[in-house]
């Protein structure tokens, strides 16, 4: 089946760049990501003093020759990554002015990153939320599982108010181990409630990434004649002269964006404001490369 939100050429070009986590992960199988537990993998972590009962095969005899003391080598235990893509499917996500709909752009990001993760041996899952729906596709490493995610994304029909905040709290409570949580939303919700949900995820030690999707028309607000503006979540409408409210709109928008970015920063979450006319490939390429370990760092 062909999915319009997938670009096979893009996936082939990005496939050589691994998707790395910024915090140690916990998984069920051996993988490529750092774990908070010590183990015996190929990457050296540190020395510690030998204590009775330690495996003598891990003694460092060169360190003993230098110091006349016994030291044990410790290594980072590698593990696999579990990712949850949280897609806001509220009514405002179907808006499009100068870009494509926000839900279509969210689908492209979620589907592309899910494909890359499963292709590198990690697990991807999906969480779709409105005020009346919280649909979950549990994470899996099986390639056949991707079709379930793609089919779910392809059937999304945004409607109603956002259920993002309760969905994030649910995910924070349900996930029993550290995960990579990718939030795709226009974030039209109470900023303090959103901040509380992010802090809940942070408390659970998840690696959080927020793609803040907005249409260029929402950011620019460039209208030359009176317009009827309709709230796509509750249906209320307002006829206004854009020139009379443009300054007030831009001031409110600026405050909103500053607040959202600060809340993400406080929760140690990756934050990216993404206009929906942004080319997808450079966005994802920059996202992936920015998460690669810096040279000289583990």
Shared domain for 59 and 136, answered yes or no, is no
The predicted structure's pLDDT at residue 230: 80
Domain's final residue, options 25, 57, 79: 79
The predicted structure's pLDDT at residue 77: 40
- Evaluate whether residue 255 is within a structural domain: yes
Tokens (6 digits) for 94: 């179907």
Q: Rounded to the nearest 10 degrees, how much is the dihedral formed by the CA atoms of 202, 170, 195, 22?
A: 30
The secondary structure element, H or E, covering residue 35 is strand 33-49
> pLDDT tens across 122-150, in order?
999 999 998 887 888 999 988 889 999 99
Give me the half-sphere count of Cα atoms (radius 13 Å) on the Cβ side of residue 27: 27
Residues 6+ apart with CB under 8 A from 294: none
User: What mean pLDDT, rounded, does the chain reach?
Assistant: 84
How many domains would you assign to the chain?
Answer: 2
- Residues spanned by the domain of 73: 33-79
Contact 178, 149 (CB under 8 A): no
> pLDDT tens across 185-219, in order?
999 999 999 999 999 999 999 999 999 999 999 99
Shared domain for 111 and 201, answered yes or no, is yes
- Evaluate whether residue 26 is within a structural domain: no
The predicted structure's pLDDT at residue 196: 98
Shared domain for 63 and 184, answered yes or no, is no
């Amino acid at each position: 089946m062909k999915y319009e939100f997938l670009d096979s050429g893009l996936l082939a070009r990005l496939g050589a760049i691994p998707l790395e986590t910024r915090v140690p992960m916990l998984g069920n199988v051996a993988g490529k990501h750092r774990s908070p537990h010590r183990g015996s993998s190929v990457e050296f972590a540190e020395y510690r003093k030998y204590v009775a009962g330690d495996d003598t095969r891990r003694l460092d005899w060169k360190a003993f020759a230098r110091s006349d003391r016994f030291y044990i080598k410790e290594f980072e235990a590698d593990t696999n990554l579990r990712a949850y893509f949280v897609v806001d499917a509220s009514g405002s996500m179907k808006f499009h002015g100068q870009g494509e709909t926000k839900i279509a752009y969210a689908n492209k990001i979620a589907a592309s990153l899910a494909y890359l993760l499963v292709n590198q041996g990690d697990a991807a899952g999906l969480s779709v939320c409105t005020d009346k729906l919280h649909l979950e596709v549990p994470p899996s490493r099986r390639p056949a599982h991707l079709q379930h995610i793609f089919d779910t994304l392809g059937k999304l029909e945004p409607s109603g108010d956002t259920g993002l905040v309760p969905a994030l709290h649910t995910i924070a409570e349900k996930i029993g181990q550290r995960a990579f949580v990718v939030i795709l939303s226009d974030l039209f919700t109470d900023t303090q409630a959103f901040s509380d949900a992010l802090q809940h995820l942070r408390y659970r030690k998840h690696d959080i990434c927020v793609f803040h999707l907005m249409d260029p028309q929402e950011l620019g607000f460039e209208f030359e004649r009176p317009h009827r503006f309709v709230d796509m979540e509750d249906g209320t409408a307002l006829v206004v002269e854009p020139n009379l409210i443009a300054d007030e709109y831009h001031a409110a928008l600026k405050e909103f964006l500053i607040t959202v970015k600060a809340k993400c920063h406080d929760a140690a979450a990756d934050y990216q404001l993404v206009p929906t006319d942004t080319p997808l490939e450079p966005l994802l390429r920059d996202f992936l490369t920015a998460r690669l370990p810096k040279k000289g760092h583990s």
